[in-house]
Amino acid sequence: MISTARRGRITNPPNSPNRNSKYFYSPFLPKFTRTTYTKPTKNLSPIDNEQIKREYTLRTLSILSTIYPKRCNCPKSLENPSLNFLRLKSKESIARCSHCHKQISITANTPFQNIKLPLAYISYTIQDQILQYPKTMTSKEIARKLGLPYKTAYYLKKRIQVFFSHLNETLREQLYKELEENSKNFRLPKEGDLKETLKNQPVAVADSVVLYSSSLRANKHRSRRFKGGTASIYASNSIGGHQIGTLVHTIGINGGMTFYKSIPLNNQHYLEKDLEETIPKNVTLFTDEGYGFLWDRPNHRSVNHSKKRNDPRYNMSRERWVSKDGVSSNGAEARNNILKQSFRSYGYISPKWSQLALSELSFLGSSSGHGIRRNNHIRERITPTRVNLFIFFLNYRILK
C-alpha cells in the first residue's frame, strides 16, 4: 500500500482505515497521538505532606516560644510554666496552659502576628535561606516553592526580614560586650610587625560600598549631586535630588560576624556613629585612609590603597593592599564582594527597604557557621536559636 501526495499533503489511499479520521498519516511514518499538557494548579512542595508539615510547624513554634517566650498568668504557671501546642484544630498558633487550659497566642506581639499562612511555611523558608547562603531567597522563589501568590510571598519575606533584624541586633549587643571585655587593656605597638601581637586578638575591619548606583541615563544625563562615592546614589538636584542607590557601611570581625548598615552619606557623622555602636574603641580596627577622623581609637591602623612605588619602572606599590606592618582591609573587601553577589538576585531594592535586606543577609551569615568560627565564647552565652538556626532545626524539638 503506497500513499500518494496531493497538493503537498501526504494522504492515505481511499481504502485506508484512517480515511474518515481527522488527520491522514502515511504508513511509512511513525504514528503518534495528540497529547495536551495540563499545568498543575499548585507547585508540589515537601510541606504538602502532612507529616513533614507537622514537623515544620513544631519547629516554628519552638523558635517563636524560645525567642518570644509566653506563659500564662495563673498561679501554677508562675512556678512551673507549661504550654501545650497543636491542641486546637485549625489554630496552630494557639497554645493551651497545661494547668488552667487558658488559650495563649504564640504569634502575638511578634513579627508574625495575625499571619494567615500555615506556620510550617516560616521555618521551611528560614531553613532554605540558611542553606542557600550567600545566595538570597527572593519573593518569587518563595512563591514558586510554596505555590503562593507573589504578593503573599512578598509579605512573608518582609515578616522574616523583621524577625532577622531583631536577632541581628541581639548579636550586635552580645558581640560588643564580649569584645569590650577581651580588649579592655589591649594596646598595639606603634611600629613593627603586628602579626604576632594580633595572634589571639579579634581584628575588626570597616569599609563602604555602593549598591544600585545611579547611571547618567537614569539621571537624565545630568551631572551628579555630590562628589565621591556618594555621588552615584543620588539623582541631580534639577530632577529632585532623591536617593536611588544604596550606600552600605560594612563592619566585620576577621573570621567572625559581619554587620551591614545603610547610610545616606559617606561622612564622619554616619561612619563614626556606626562604629561606636558595633566596635568598642580599644578593639584593633583596620581600614583604608578614608577614616582619618578616628582620633580617639588607639588601635586603629589604616592602609593606603593609592600608594606609589619608589621604583620609577612601576606605578603602584604592592603595599597598597597589605602594609609592611601587616595592616590590611581585605576582610572588608571580601565581605563587600559577598554582599554584591547576594544582591544580584534582586533586580532592585529601594533605599527605604535596604536595611531590612542587609540585616537579613548579616544574620544569615552570622548564624550559618560562616561567622561564628572565632566567636565560640559568644556561642556559649546565647541560646541556640540566636546563633545557629540550622543546628537548632536539626537538634531541637518541642512536643508536649
| Range from 47-56, 215-224, 264-273 carrying the lowest mean pLDDT | 215-224
Question: Using CA atoms, how far apart are residues 109 and 156, in angstroms rounded to an integer?
Answer: 16
* pLDDT at 373 (0 to 100): 41
pLDDT of the residue at 361: 92
For residue 109, count CB atoms less than 10 angstroms from its CB and return exposed for 0-12, middle for 13-18, buried for 19 or more.
exposed
User: Is 80 exceeded by the pLDDT of residue 146?
Assistant: yes
Give the C-alpha distances (Å, rounded to integers) separating 216 from 74, 120, 226, 347, 348: 65, 46, 14, 19, 17
On whether the CB atoms of residues 83 and 97 are closer than 8 A, the answer is yes
Rounded Cα distance between 299 and 291, Å, is 13
pLDDT computed for residue 24 by the predictor: 52
pLDDT at 28: 58
Mean pLDDT of the chain: 77
pLDDT above 80: residue 227? no
284 dihedral zone (left: phi>0; alpha: psi -120 to 50; beta):
beta
- With beta carbons less than 8 A apart as the criterion, state whether 26 and 20 touch: no
* Listed range (198-207, 216-225, 335-344) with the worst mean pLDDT: 216-225
- Per-residue pLDDT at 181: 85
The mean pLDDT of 161-173, rounded to a whole number, is 91
Strand partners, 210: 247
- 168 pLDDT exceeds 80? yes
Q: How many CB atoms lie within 10 A of CB 273?
A: 13
Return the percentage of the chain with pLDDT > 70, whole number: 76
Confidence of residue 390 (pLDDT cuts 50, 70, 90): very low
pLDDT at position 187 is 82
Checking if the pLDDT of 393 tops 50, the result is no
pLDDT for position 111: 92
Q: How confident is the model at residue 382 (pLDDT cuts 50, 70, 90)?
A: very low
Distance CA 116, CA 234 (A): 39
pLDDT of 315 reads: 80
**Per-residue pLDDT at 25:** 53
Q: Are 387 and 363 in contact (CB under 8 A)?
A: no
pLDDT digits (tens, 9 = 90+) for 294-353: 888 888 888 887 777 777 777 877 777 777 777 888 888 889 899 998 988 888 888 899
What percent of the chain is modeled with pLDDT above 90?
A: 17
Query: Apex CA 155: angle with CA 150 and CA 158, to 5°?
Result: 125
SS (H, E, C) the chain: CCCEEECCEEECCCCCCCCCCCCCCCCCCCCCCCCCCCCCCCCCCHHHCHHHHHHHHHHHHHHHHHHCCCCCCCHHHHHCCCEECCCCCCCCCEEEECCCCCEEECCCCCCCCCCCCCCHHHHHHHHHHHHHCCCCCCHHHHHHHHCCCHHHHHHHHHHHHHHHHHHHHHHHHHHHHHHHHHCCCCCCCCCCCCCCCCCCCCEEEEEEEEECCCCCCCCCCCCCCCCHHHHHHECCHHHCCCECCEEEEEEEECCCCEEEEEECCCCHHHHHHHHHHHCCCCCEEEEEHHHCCCCCCCCEEEECCCCECCCCCCCECHHHCECCCCCECHHHHHHHHHHHHHHCCCCCCCCCCHHHHHHHHHHHHHHCCCCCCCCHHHHHHCCHHHHCHHHHHHHCCCCC
Structure confidence at residue 354 as a pLDDT band (50, 70, 90): very high
Residue type, 130: I
Cell numbers that stand for 17 in this block: 482505515
Q: What is the pLDDT of residue 312?
A: 78
Q: Identify the weakest region by mean pLDDT among 17-21, 84-88, 113-117, 347-351.
A: 17-21
Q: Residue 30 pLDDT more than 60?
A: no
80 CB burial (10 A radius; 0-12, 13-18, 19+): exposed
Answer for the pair 388, 368: CB distance below 8 angstroms, yes or no. Answer: yes
How high is the pLDDT of residue 375? 46
Q: Does the structure show a pLDDT above 80 at 226? A: no
- Residue 55's CB: how many other CB atoms inside 10 A? 18
Contact 303, 322 (CB under 8 A): yes
Instruction: Report the pLDDT value the prediction gives residue 1, as an integer from 0 to 100.
Output: 47
Residue 261, by phi and psi: left (phi above 0), alpha (psi -120 to 50) or beta?
A: beta
How much is the average pLDDT of 370-390?
Answer: 41
For residues 292 and 396, the model is more confident at 292
